[in-house]
Chains A and B, each alone.
Chain A
Amino acid sequence: MSRRAWTVIGVVLLVAFAGFAFASFRTSLTPYVSYAEAQRAPRTVQVAGALEQGSTSYDEVATTLHFVLRDPETGATMPVEYDGVKPANFEDAISIVAIGRWDAGQSRFAAGKLLVKCPSKYQGAEVKEYS
């Protein structure tokens, strides 16, 4: 095959790959959204907030955790269900990022992953990831 043909094949492959990579980027992207947006968006998003005091309940047998997130700025709240073992020192969290999607049937946010930021004197705060 001629050099030109190889170049064309190479460019086509690169463009195809770039398209694939971009599509993967879009589908895998979990944007930070407000609670209202999270409830409208049918996709995986992340929401952040503070733990509503006293809202935590944990089912040890099924290992599911329920709690309510409160947006410190707007005061909006949203119930969250996390399917997993309750993170250590969860009640002490100063902020929580929940990654998941809104479950309209149960009317709560189903989180698959939590980032829990606990107060720490080591460089301000300590973030731990749970999935």
Chain B
Amino acid sequence: MTALAGYYLPGAIALWCAVVFALATLWGYADLHRGDESARPFARRSYLFFTLAIVASAIVLGIALARRDFRVDYVFQYTGLELPWHYQIAAFWAGQKGSFLIWLLFGALIGVPLMRTAGRHEAPVMGIYLLAQLGLLLILVRENPFTMLPQAPADGQGLNPLLQDDWMVIHPPIMFVGYALAAVPFAFAMAALFKRDTSEWAARAFPWALAGFLVLGAAILLGGYWAYATLGWGGYWGWDPVENASLIPWLLGTALVHGLYLERTRGRYRRINLVLASLVFLSVLYGTFLTRSGVLADFSVHSFVDLGISGWLIAIMAFFGGMAVLLLGTRLRHVETADNADPALSRGTFLVLATIAILVCAIVVTAGTSAPILTRFLENPGQVGPEFYNRVNLPIALLVAFLLALVPFLTWRGEEGLRAVLRKAAPGLAFGFLATCGAVGLGVHDPFHILFLFLALTALATNLTRFASLARVGKVASAGGYLAHVGVGIILVGFLASSAYDESVKVTLVQGQPVDVGAYSLTFERFLERQGREKERAEVTVSRDGGKVWTAYPKIFVNERSRQLMVNPDIRSTMLADLYLSPLEYDPGRAAGFGELSLRKGEVTRIGEAEIRFVGFDLEHGGNAMAQMSAGDPVSVGAVLEVTRGGAAERVEPVYRFRSDGEVEFPPVTLAGGGRIAVGGIDATAGAVRLLVEGLGEAQGIPARLSLDVTRKPLVQAVWWGMYVILAGGILALVARAKQVRRLGAAAQPSGS
């Protein structure tokens, strides 16, 4: 029983039960696979119990977090008494264990509708899907989030201040829904190969692939916004390994969505889609390995610590990688697929080229992210910077924009020649040309950038006209792709403008003195102290041509618990450009008459026109020191001082306070004759005090200074809006494809419930 004592039992038992139910489900589905139809209700019920057990363990952890039950190690590590309630929830996914649990929670829940719509391959689909859940579950059983501390501490360690943000509350869980969804097309693909029947999987997996694409896309958008608006990293994308780890599955998922569209409409790509579905899932596992095993610890802004699960992650990767290689290797060549019979200028050919472009992009990002591992075997391990990704992705983006610009006017068979296609695209091309001329007028001179803008703007316009004409005749449901492509056109313009044409300058503002930065004039007005939940912030007025346009409040503060310096930028967004003020450093300066002096007991010193005598310590200040200490109260030592100015003497007693948590406080006392005085330190053996005075001495004041990173980023808004439009298009496509599955489900599922 001693082994059990280390666990918070309600949660740990739920996890162990989940393992049992998962094994029962596998057993049931194995029977069903062998043809025992009566095993289906048992398998399904076991799966529901598995899901219930996972939900129960998540609820137990949630309640422990909400109750601030610091006996549980995980609660102790990530929450604290003063944390507001919504961050108590966010603490659920602040650490590795909790984030694996929420991933598993979503995975288990997704399995419930999957089970009912998996069709005739339900047994292998659910079996393989459940194996993926089991992998996570085994990690959790080992790295148990319910381990207990021998004694409950009085307070937790608090949540990492970087994570104390409203975006943090929603960004990670959405990301984990996306990761959980990636396992679904994989399960369908493996099951289809296993059953040697690939006729139906594409139709059934399509809505799941679209859902994964949508959710992961939304999570990436939120993550970018979080990095941009809160963390003050200066950009929405830094090509950091953690960011790339979510981008790679999304790119592969995008390729899969296009491939499935090609398969469903033209019967092509039957083999390639099976590979793509595997790659989406394996890339999620690989990304998890990269970011959670500690292999990149020296290379990323995100901090990773090896939890000791590298071995597990490698084993899980090897298991599913091996499964994919084995099934694809032995059975792929038996899959019938249609040959490409389409001419070059046809929708089919363009789709193939687009999937190749997206795949190449995914490969480039994977290679760049893996650089520290790839180069480890060559010479010195190294990493590649953002310039690698930007350079190599430029030709890919050009190709994608070119394909997008023409694709709305291509037919599957490609009966029409180039001339006819161009004629249809003429309004879009004209828009692209004129808008690009405008951009050249605004200062875009690089020939690649001009071509890039022309293609992206044309793609935006041609897809928009096509979408509008379909919407006019009531075919919105089938026009999701065009809408998504409008978004790609918008986002490409936003990428180029905000990354290649941003202007950034670091300035140091002296309080009250305006400084010209580009067309703006910035004045650091004052520094505002903390008020309630509002953190310390600087007030900066921004004016242009003599008129005030904006009062910015960039925040810069020291987190009390971690003693980390935190910054939050302030951003003024307009349609055309964002003005981004990110604090770098704040120097409070020094008040006039600041001075520091050391006095022994009885000693007198002169500062400015005042004389200060240190009469002696007052150890009984506010009560008996020993009694305070044993009661755990702060211990105060007073220093009795006599300040004489212009013949008038006053007696003051500033204190030096030792708090029970090891910190010290030395509140200043205000003198009746003006100025302030505080005890900055005590030397008990010498019987001396160090005094800090203000407004007494002759020293000149030093004004406060604020260092800022001032950036003007054109068209950042286009990045957000482009992504919204892409996601809106994806939702339209999802609705259309889900309807098709419903029809399929009615026709092709004679057995089962």
Contacts and interface: CB of A to CB of B under 8 A. Distances in A.
A32 B382 CA distance: 5
Contacts of B585: 85-86, 88
A54 interface: no
B303 A60 contact: no
Interface string A30-54: 1111000100000001101000000
B382 A63 contact: no
B344 A28 contact: no
Interface in A80-131: 84-86, 88-89, 97, 99, 115, 118, 120-129
Nearest to A61: B508
Given A30-B383, A32-B298, A25 B303 contact: no
B157 A121 contact: yes
B395 interface: yes
Contact of A122 (B160, B383, B391): B160
B381 A127 contact: no
Contacts of B375: 29, 31
Contact of B344 (A6, A20, A86, A120): A6
Given A85-B707, A89-B563, A127 B302 contact: yes
A131 to B, nearest CB: 9
A126 B388 CA distance: 26
B562 A31 contact: no
Nearest to B371: A29
A21 interface: yes
A74 interface: no
Contact of A123 (B95, B300, B564, B584): B95
B564 A60 contact: no
A17 B382 contact: no
A14 B387 CA distance: 21
Interface in B466-513: 506, 508
Given A17-B395, A85-B585, A32 B303 contact: no
Given A25-B367, A63-B506, A126 B564 contact: yes
Contacts, number: 100
Contacts of B705: 60
A29 B382 contact: yes
A124 B305 contact: yes
Contacts of B388: 24-25, 28-29
- Measured as residues with beta carbon below 8 angstroms from the partner, the interface class of chain B is 35 or more
A43 B360 CA distance: 28
A55 to B, nearest CB: 20
Interface in B377-408: 379-385, 387-388, 391-392, 395
B565 A124 contact: no
A85 B160 contact: no
Given A63-B506, A88-B585, A89-B563, A24 B391 contact: yes
A36 B585 CA distance: 33
Determine the main DSSP class of A at the interface with B.
mixed
B381 to A, nearest CB: 5
A99 B299 CA distance: 11
B384 A25 contact: yes
B364 interface: yes
B420 interface: no
B228 to A, nearest CB: 15
A97 B297 CA distance: 12
Contacts of A20: 392, 395
A6 to B, nearest CB: 6
Nearest to B304: A123
Interface of A: 1, 6, 14, 17, 20-21, 24-25, 28-33, 37, 45-46, 48, 60, 63, 84-86, 88-89, 97, 99, 115, 118, 120-129
Given A25-B392, A31-B379, A63-B508, 12 more contacts: A21-B364, A21-B367, A29-B371, A29-B384, A30-B383, A88-B585, A89-B564, A118-B564, A120-B160, A120-B562, A123-B95, A129-B238
27 contacts: A6-B344, A14-B360, A20-B392, A24-B391, A25-B371, A29-B371, A29-B384, A30-B382, A30-B385, A32-B298, A46-B382, A46-B383, A60-B508, A63-B508, A84-B506, A85-B506, A85-B585, A86-B585, A89-B564, A120-B160, A121-B157, A122-B160, A123-B305, A125-B305, A126-B562, A127-B302, A129-B233
